[in-house]
Structure 1
Amino acid sequence: MELGKRGQDNKKHFLYVGRIMKEKGIDELFRAAQKLYREYGDKVVLDMVGFFEDEYKEQVENLEEQGIVKFYGFQKETRPYYEMADCVVLPSYHEGMSNVLLEASSMEIPVITSDIPGCRDAVEDGKTGYLCKVGDSEMLYQNMKKIVEMNNQELEDMGKLARKRMRQLFDKTKIVEQTAEIISRK
Structure 2
Amino acid sequence: MAPLPYGRPTRSTYAVTALADLTAAATAALQAHFLTLVPHTATIVDRLAAYHQLPDTTDPLVLPASATVPVLPPATAPAAPAQPASARAGLTVPANIPRGTQVSVGYTIPPEQVMPKNWVGIFVPNAAVNSGSLHWQYTPDASGTVGLPNSEGLGTGRYQLWLLANDGYTPLAGPYDLTIA
Whether these two folds match at TM > 0.5 is no
The structure with the largest strand share of the pair is 2
**Comparing both chains, which one has the higher relative contact order based on Cα–Cα distances under 8 Å and sequence gaps of 6 or more?**
1
Task: Pick the structure with greater CA Rg.
Answer: 2
Q: TM-score, normalised by structure 1?
A: 0.19
Q: TM-score, normalised by structure 2?
A: 0.19
